Structure 1
Amino acid sequence: MNRRNFIAGAAGALTFSGAIAAETVAETAAAEATDPVFKAFADALPQHSWQMGYEGLQADAAPMTLSLRGQMPRGLRGALYRNGPSRHSIGGVRYHHLFDGDGMVQKYEITDAGITHRGKFVRTEKFIADSKAGKPVRQTFGTNPPDAQPITGPDSLNVANTSVVSHGGELMALWEGGSAIKLDAQTLDTLGPKVLSPEYAGMAFSAHPKIERDGTLWNFGVTSHLGLLSVYRIAPSGEVLKTETIKVRDIAMVHDFAVTEQHLVFLLPPLVFDRDRARSGETFLDCHVWKPQLGMRVLVLPKDHLDQPQWFDLPAGFVFHVGNAWEDTTAGTIRLDYIRSPDAWSPLHGLRDVMSGRFERTGNAGIAFVGLNLKTGRANQTLVNQETEFPRVDPRVVGVKHSQLFTTLRLDTGPRPGFDAVMRMDVASGKTDRYRYGTDVMVEEHVFVPKPGGSGKEGDGWLVGTALDLKKKAMLLSVFDAMHLSKGPIAQATMDRVMPLGFHSIFVGA
Structure 2
Amino acid sequence: MLKSNNFQLGLTTLEQEITLEQLSIQGEIPLWLNGSLFRNGPSKFEVGNQQYRHLFDGLAMLHKFTFKEGKVSYRNRFLRSETYRKNLKAGKICVDEFATSINRSIWQNVGSLLNLEISDNNNLNIAQIAGHFLAITGSANLIEFDPYTLETLGKFDYTDNIPGLLTTGHPQRDFEKQEIINFTTDISQNSTYNIYRLFFGETTRQLITSIPVAEPAYIQSFALTENYIILPEFPLLTNPMNLISQKLKGKPFIDNFNWKPEKMTRFLVINRKKSELIGIYETEACFALNQVNAFENQDEIILDLCAYPSHVINDYYLSNLRNTQECKLSKPELRRYKIALSSKLVNYELLSEQFLEFPQINSEKCQSKKYQFVYGVGFAQERHNDFFNQLLKIDIIKQKVSRWYEEGCYPGEPIFVPQPNSEQEDEGIVLSLVLDGNQSNSFLLILDGHSFVEIARTKVPHHIPFGFHGQYFQGIFENSHA
Same fold (TM > 0.5): yes
Partner residue in 1 for 2:480: none
- Per mean C-alpha deviation after superposition, the further-off stretch among 421-430 and 347-356 is 347-356
Q: Deviations over 1:51-92 (max 9, x none)?
A: 211112335344464221111011111111000111210011
In the TM superposition, residue 262 of structure 1 has moved relative to its aligned partner by 0.6
Q: Which amino acid aligns with 2:179?
A: T
CA distance in 2, matches of 1:168, 1:481: 31
Q: Distance in 2 between matches of 1:416 and 1:145?
A: 34
Query: What is the SS of the residue equivalent to 1:142?
Result: coil
Residue by residue over 1:126-157, the C-alpha shift from the partner in whole angstroms, topping out at 9 and shown as x without a partner, is 11111211110111110111039847777641
- When structure 1 is superposed on structure 2, of 89-98 and 383-392 the one drifting more is 383-392
Q: Which amino acid aligns with 2:194?
A: S
Contact 1:96–1:355 (8 Å) recurs in 2: no
Give the aligned partner of residue 179 of structure 1: 141
In 1, the alpha carbon distance for the partners of 2:157 and 2:163 equals 5
- Choose from 371, 383, 387 the match for 1:418: 387
Between 1 and 2, higher relative CO (CA 8 Å, sep ≥ 6) is seen in: 2
Q: Deviations over 1:383-409 (max 9, x none)?
A: 243221011110221112212111111
The aligned counterpart of 1:272 is: 237
C-alpha deviation, 1:225, in angstroms? 5.0
Moved more, 350-359 or 383-392: 350-359
Quick one: which of 373, 394, 400 aligns to 1:431? Answer: 400
Instruction: Describe the SS at the equivalent of 2:413.
Output: strand
1:497 to 450, 458, 462: 462
CA distance in 2, matches of 1:89, 1:257: 32
Q: What corresponds to 1:43 in structure 2?
A: none
Deviations 1:400-438 (A, max 9, x none): 2212111111114648753121112122232222222x2
The Cα shift of 1:316 comes to 1.2
- Matches of residues 111-260 of structure 1 in structure 2 within 5 Å? 111-112=68-69, 114-147=71-104, 150=112, 156-200=118-162, 203-214=165-176, 215-225=178-188, 227-243=191-207, 244-260=209-225
Q: 2:134 is paired with a residue of what secondary structure? A: strand
SS at match of 1:490: strand
Is the CA contact 1:77–1:110 (under 8 Å) kept in the aligned structure 2? yes
2:288 is aligned to 319
* Contact preservation (8 Å) 2:14, 2:463: no
3-state SS of the aligned residue for 1:264?
A: strand
Quote the residue 1:342 is aligned against. Answer: 309
Give the equivalent residue in structure 1 for 2:419. 451
5+ residue gaps, structure 1: 1-46
8 Å CA contact 2:193, 2:213 repeated in 1: yes
Question: Which protein is richer in helix relative to its size?
Answer: 1
Any idea what SS the aligned residue of 2:7 has? helix
Aligned to 1:23: none
Alignment partners' CA distance in 1, 2:235 and 2:206: 29
- Over aligned residues, Cα RMSD in angstroms? 2.3
Aligned to 2:348: 381
**Structure 1 residues 355-364 or 236-245, which shifts more?**
355-364
Which structure 2 segments of 5+ residues have no match? Answer: 476-482
Q: CA deviation at 1:198?
A: 4.3
* Counterpart position of 2:317: 351
- For the residue of structure 2 that corresponds to 1:252, the secondary structure is coil
Could you say which residue in structure 1 is the equivalent of 2:437? 470
Report the residue type matching 2:39 in the other structure: R
**Residue number among 269, 272, 284 corresponding to 2:253 in the alignment:** 284
Aligned counterpart in structure 2 of residue 370 of structure 1, from 321, 331, 337 = 337
Aligned-partner Cα distance in 2 for 1:413–1:54: 22
Aligned equivalents of 2:86, 2:27: Cα separation in 1? 45
- Alignment-mate amino acid for residue 56 of structure 2: F
TM-score w.r.t. the length of structure 1 is 0.84
